Chains A and B, each alone.
Chain A
Amino acid sequence: MSNTKNWIDKRLKIGWIMFSIGAIICIAGITSELKITNRPFDFRIITGLGILLLGIGIGQIVRYRIAAKDGIVAKRIAIEEHDERTVLIRAKAGNRAYWVSTGLVYILLMWISFASNGKLVYPNENILWYFLALAIVLPFGIYLISILRDERSS
């Protein structure tokens, strides 16, 4: 079995795992939304995560199933995924996103620390939720923008 075939099979397996986990989380989220009346938090956040994983899983399966049937497509996909310029661009984007993420969490940590000393007010639940949501969304946005920018400039 060639290296490319092995690699494609592995990616397909990851796709199916993501699809399965996504489906389970999605079903759990929807069931919780319907069954639990006294909700401690909005269960749509669980369903949303499930839908995201499901989507990624389907994307992977479709992409690599086509590749599994056609050796030329498989080789081209493998080359594109391992392409040194692409890998470098992704690594740079990941690095930038990491520092943004660290910065945001550090700000929150400082805020909580100062609030404990009585120098600042404690963030209420809403502010905390939005701040944590920002700590997820902003680094992801930075990651995507960074990739798009570097794809054009390098």
Chain B
Amino acid sequence: MKNNLEELRNQRGLTQQELADQVEVSRQTIISLENGRYNPSILLAFRLAHLFQMKIEDIFFYIPEDY
């Protein structure tokens, strides 16, 4: 699953640690999310969407071939 988390984070001038603190995960999780190595739980996806005031599908992009 791809995402534009890094872009959104940079737009808001947040560091990885600051974003991690706001959604209550480790910095390593943010790094893995940004690199596309980890897919978030639905709860974390909602937290990020809530933080960025966006819909989940505007942050994370489901690609059927990835499944």
List chain A positions with a Cβ less than 8 A from chain B.
Answer: 76, 79-80, 82-86, 151, 153-154
Contact = CB atoms under 8 A, between A and B. Distances in A.
Q: Which of B20, B21, B25 has the most CB of A within 10 A?
A: B25
4 closest residue pairs by CB, A with B? A83-B26, A85-B29, A80-B26, A83-B25
A154 B37 CA distance: 5
B51 interface: no
Contacts of B41: 84
15 contacts: A76-B21, A79-B20, A79-B25, A80-B26, A82-B24, A83-B28, A83-B29, A84-B40, A84-B41, A85-B25, A85-B28, A85-B32, A151-B28, A153-B37, A154-B32
Nearest to B25: A83
Interface of B: 20-21, 24-26, 28-29, 32, 37-38, 40-41, 43-44
B32 A84 contact: no
Contacts of B20: 79
Contacts of B32: 85, 154
Given A85-B25, A86-B26, A154-B37, 12 more contacts: A76-B21, A79-B25, A83-B25, A83-B26, A83-B28, A84-B25, A84-B40, A84-B41, A84-B43, A85-B29, A153-B37, A154-B32
